[in-house]
Each structure stands twice: as structure tokens, then as C-alpha cells.
Amino acid sequence: MTIPWKHGNSIRLLENGEEFFPAVLEAVASAQQEVLIETFILAEDPVGIELKDALVAAARRGATVTVTVDDYGSPSFSEGFLNDLKEAGITLLVFDPQPRAFGMRTNLFRRLHRKLVVVDQKVGFIGGLNYSVDHLLKSGPQAKQDYAVELRGPIVADLLEAMRNTLKPAARRFRRRPVMKPVPAPAIDKAGETSVALVVRDNDRHRDDIERHYRMAIRLAQREIIIANAYFLPGYRMLRDLAKAARRGVHVQLILQGQPDMPWVRATTMFLYDYLIKEGVEIHEYCQRPLHGKVALIDDEWATVGSSNLDPLSLSLNLEANVIVRDRTFTKLLRSRLVSLMNHHCKLAKPTRAPALRFWRLVAGSLLFHFLRRFPAWSGWLPAHRPALKPAAPTPVPVEHVQEGNHEAV
């Protein structure tokens, strides 16, 4: 399996909205040519409105601005919000818009779950954060713990290509609109010494790339594995790889949700606890706030940051994007953040001791786990369609901030 490494990059770790949002806004504020954004959720709240204002200012300076959101994650915008974008010449596209059935969204699968930004083909961002106020600590106990990275260097060209591939159907549909004209991509100079690879998951040629890269790195691990993931329901092969790594002496540590936004997530994940703990895997439950991160590190210089959970939706259905990073300095920093999380805000999970509880957890968890692992294949029986991109339109319903955790992992 060839890894598409790009060498000569710089990388900056961004933790939570307090670090991520100012970095994106600063990049947009300096934009002169082009701003491309893909996100699952763009909320019409203080965070989304601040981003909208920054994009409007960039467009009025002459930059081409295109934003793509998912119809399930971002179901409605007010007329005023959309008019501000339209008057500035900004294109706001909705991925796979579907009609509602009895008021309910029907596009449950194959969502655009990626979180990507490229500004002037010089700086890119990728991670797990959406544009909503619940990624800020000031939003209270439900504020999400999450990570992203800022990238400069040749890897930005790969992010740009991935985003333009998403936009191709819209570019054909709106080929007469000047805002959709592609900006010529210059050669991107080196910006550092970090090696980075962009790995995507789609429903075409890259159906299991992210999972395969995870598994390859786990199988090669010699000393340490730390995975922090909001929705941990991987397939049997990855579970087996983690167990084998622990048995050969690798220190395997998982940081999972201790206070999930959906109680059944923890109930299902706990089905795996006894098996993994028995094999020597440490499971740390993050209990301070909801965990929304999708990061991992292995040994001294392999790390990944992105949008992909380790669950059936992300690994089998959604459009996802992660970067893999080979850099000792970055891995050391990420490790220090995750170890601090484990030491100060997590509790170590223990195996179930009560036989009756162990039995019922085994039965209930097993049934739900096997259902969740198989429904991606079952969803393939549904009539297939090619997801479309259409301009966003105001809806008559009140604008709601959709919590990603309520529908991200099913």
C-alpha cells in the first residue's frame, strides 16, 4: 500500500475552538485569492456568524470563496444569513440535499463529514472541529474536546485537490458563474521538515484507506499506541490488531468517552472493554466533557489527526479525511496533551466483576455491536444515488444548532 507522503511541511497542533477558530479566522482575514471550506456543521450561532463575516470581508477584497456543508449536519439557514453570503458573491453549497419525510431528514448515510480549509493555496486546516459554539469551553459542560492541525507546504496541494474533486459536479453545473472558476494552482514551496500524507475515505476508490493505514501502523508498533476517539466501534480486524500489539508488549492506551452525548454509545463500547482489558489494553474514560477527538499516535513519530471516527459510519459510509504525520516533535507534543488528558481528566476502566452484570452487558452489547458493525453493508441494499451539490436555500423552519454527536455515530 503506497502512502502519498509529501515532504517539507510545517504543522501546528490546534486544540479545541479556542485555538482552532482564531487560526482559521486569521487565515481568512489574510486571503487574497481563494478560500475553500468543507464542514459537516456550519451553525448559525456566534461562531458561524463570525466566520460568515470573515468570509464576506475576504470576498469583498476579491477572493473566491466557496463553502460546502452537509445537508444532514447543517439543515437550515436563515434568509438573512444566506443573503449576506450571496451579496458578497460567496458560493454556499449543500452536499446531498434530500427531501424531508414527515419532517425527518432521510439522508442518514454517506455524509460529507470532512473538515477541511484551504486559503490561497498556502495554508490548510484539517481536524474534527465543526463551526459551532459547542467547541468553545465557555459553552459549558457540553463543550467538546477536539483537535485539528494547521498545515503549510506541499501537503496543502493534496487538500486542495481533494476539495476541488468534491466541487467538480458543482463546477459543471454552475460553470457560467465566475465564483466557481478554478484558480490556477501554483507549485507550493517547502515550509518545514515534516512529512505528511492525506488519506481520505470515500465511496469510490478509497473505501477503506483510513482503516488500512491505522491497522498497518498498529501492526508495526513496537513501544506505544495511544488512540483518542469519540466513537470507538472498529471492526474485528482492528480489535484483533490492538490485542496482538498489547500481547507482544506494546503499551496500548485508548481514550474513550466517559460522558458520551449518546448513552448507548458507551453501552455498546463497554461490550469491548472486558475483551480488550483482558488482553492488556488500557482504557481511559474521559469524564470532564464530551470527547469529540479523532487522533492517534504510535511510537515516536507516527500520528494522525482528522475527521474519521473508528465506527461504522466513518469507516464504511461517510466522506472522511485524515492526515498522517511523521514528525517526532509533533508526536511528542500530541502525546503530552493526551497523557495530560489521561492523568488529570480520565478514569481507568476496570473489568466487570459481577457475573450477572457481565452476562447482561455481554448479551446487550454484543447484539448492538454486531448490528452496528453490519448496518453499513445492509445500507448498500438501499437504492444508490450519486450525492449532489446544490446551492443552500432558506427554510421555513427556525434555525437550530444541530449537535453533531446526536447523529454522528449510529
Q: Which of residues 321 and 396 earns the better pLDDT score?
A: 321
Task: Please say if 345 is a catalytic residue.
Answer: no
Segment 242-281, tens digit of pLDDT: 999 999 999 999 999 987 666 666 666 777 888 899 999 9
**Confidence check: pLDDT of 174 > 50:** no
Domains of the chain, CATH where assigned: 5-196+383-399 (3.30.870.10), 199-369 (3.30.870.10)
Question: Of 105, 99, 96, whose CA–CA distance to 70 is shortest?
Answer: 96
86 is catalytic: no
If you average pLDDT over residues 142-150, what whole number do you get? Answer: 96
In this predicted structure, the answer to whether residue 372 has a pLDDT above a threshold of 60 is no
Looking at residue 97, its pLDDT comes to 85
pLDDT: which is higher, 180 or 107: 107
**By the 8 A CB rule, do 80 and 287 touch?**
no
SS (H, E, C) the chain: CCCCEEEEEEEEEEEHHHHHHHHHHHHHHCCCCEEEEEECCECCCHHHHHHHHHHHHHHHCCCEEEEEEECCCCCCCCHHHHHHHHHCCCEEEEECCCCCECCECCCCCCCECCCEEEECCCEEEEECCCECHHHCHHHCCCCCECEEEEEECCHHHHHHHHHHHHHHHHHHHCCCCHHHCCCCCCCCCCCCCEEEEEEEECCCCCCCHHHHHHHHHHHHCCCEEEEEECCECCCHHHHHHHHHHHHCCCEEEEEEECCCCCHHHHHHHHHHHHHHHHCCCEEEEECCCCECCEEEEECCCEEEEECCCECHHHHHCCEEEEEEEECHHHHHHHHHHHHHHHHHHEEECCCCCCHHHHHHHHHHHHHHHHHHHHHHHHHCCCCCCCCCEEECCCCCCCCCCCCHHHCCCC
Question: What's the one-letter identity of residue 249?
Answer: G
- Per-residue pLDDT tens over the stretch 375-405: 565 555 554 556 778 888 876 544 444 444 4
Given a cut of 70, is residue 359 above it in pLDDT?
Answer: no
CA–CA distance, 154 with 261 (Å, rounded to integer):
37
311 catalytic, yes or no? Answer: no
pLDDT, position 303: 98
Active-site pick, 6, 52, 115, 284: 115
What percent of the chain lies above the pLDDT cut of 70? 78
Measured distance CA(204)–CA(112) in Å, rounded: 14
More confident residue, 352 or 308: 308
Does 292 participate in catalysis according to the annotation?
yes
The b-or-e profile of 62-81 (16+ CB within 10 A means b, else e) is ebbbbbbbbbbbbbbbeeeb
pLDDT at 229: 97
Q: How many CB atoms lie within 10 A of CB 347?
A: 12
pLDDT greater at residue 200 or residue 4: 200
Catalytic residue of the set 45, 84, 274, 299: 299
Q: What are the beta bridge partners of residue 91? A: 66
Cα–Cα distance measured from residue 280 to residue 240, given in angstroms and rounded to the nearest whole number:
12
State yes or no: pLDDT of 181 exceeds 80: no
How do beta strands 64-70 and 91-95 pair?
parallel
Catalytic-labelled residue, pool 96, 120, 134, 241: 120
Which cell numbers in the block locate residue 220? 508495526
Q: Which pLDDT value is given to residue 175? A: 47
Which is higher by pLDDT, 130 or 385? 130
User: pTM for the full model?
Assistant: 0.88
| Residue from 213, 292, 311, 327 carrying the catalytic annotation | 292
Active-site pick, 134, 209, 294, 311: 294
Does position 117 have pLDDT exceeding 50, yes or no? yes
Is 6 known to be catalytic? no
pLDDT for 55-106, tens place per residue?
999 999 999 999 999 999 997 899 999 999 999 999 999 998 877 665 556 5
- Catalytic one of 52, 113, 122, 144: 113
Mean pLDDT, the chain, integer: 86
Confidence of residue 171 (pLDDT cuts 50, 70, 90): low
Catalytic residue check, 294 = yes
Mean pLDDT across 359-381: 55
